[in-house]
Amino acid sequence: MIAAVDFDSVTLDRGYQPPAIMAEMDSTSVFDIDLPHRERRRPLFRKPVANQQSQAVTLTDFLVQAFDPGAALAHELGEKAKRAQKDIQAYQSRIEALRSDALQDGYDLNAASERDFWRFIRSEPFIRKGNLVLLDNGNLRAIWKGEHGTHVGLQFLGDQTVQYVIFKRRAAAGDISRVAGRDSIEGVIRQIAAFDLRSLIHA
């Protein structure tokens, strides 16, 4: 058993000086015991970012798209729907201008051709806007052009019949394949898919 120490009876040595290393350790935080006081680093503070709020919004949008693919898809479809609506309005303005020009030249736009044109445009969602012209016979003809001579031309004859001309270059420096004929609207869509030209027609 350890005997109790009577501290009142202990004589203190007033001339005692602890070693330097012990003095440094005494002045050191218990959380930083292995470093002398003079070597402790000051905490690092970041200055506030001016556009911190906008960065937070961007990060939030990124996280929503990363963790909710459905939200990103809905946004993409919404943007495509807006472009499709603008294209329809542009077609309507173009057709009215063509009709006016035709009347001045003594002929009229074929109503059956116009119906088939709109039937084709609405047959599948998000069809790209093509160049629209009015032929002398009153029929509408739509043209889509791509790179390397790729070309799709559709004349709407009425009665859901389309006269088509398709040009497709098989390679960047290869020959151009050409096919032409008449088919139904559904048949023309299959022809375009067979030539791997859906990306030229569809957004």
Q: What is the pLDDT of residues 158-196, one digit of tens each?
A: 999 999 999 988 766 678 888 999 999 999 999 999 888
Among 164, 169, 156, 163, CA closest to 196:
169
pLDDT for 83 equals 78
Q: Rounded CA gap, 136 and 157, in Å? A: 13
With 90 as the cut, is the pLDDT of residue 96 above it? yes
Higher pLDDT among residues 184 and 46, named by residue: 184
Both tokens assigned to 183: 């088919």
Q: Is the pLDDT of residue 48 over 60?
A: no
Looking at residue 112, its pLDDT comes to: 97
Q: 7: exposed, middle or buried (C-beta count within 10 Å: 0-12, 13-18, 19+)?
A: exposed
Average pLDDT, the chain: 76
- CA–CA separation, 75 vs 72, rounded Å? 5
Write down the pLDDT at residue 23: 52
Q: Is the pLDDT of residue 39 over 90?
A: no
Q: What confidence tier does 45 reach under pLDDT thresholds 50, 70, 90? A: very low
Least confident window among 35-39, 102-106, 140-144: 35-39
Taking 90 as the threshold, does the pLDDT of residue 94 lie above it?
A: yes
Residue 39 in 3-state DSSP?
Answer: helix
**pLDDT exceeds 60 at position 146:** yes
Average pLDDT over residues 107-122: 94
What pLDDT is attached to residue 33? 44
At 127 the pLDDT is 84
Does the pLDDT of residue 51 top 60, yes or no? no
Out of 42-51, 121-130, 154-163, pick the least confident. Answer: 42-51
Q: In this predicted model, what pLDDT tens digit does every residue of 53-76 receive, in sequence order?
A: 555 555 555 555 555 667 666 766
For the entire predicted model, the pTM comes to: 0.60
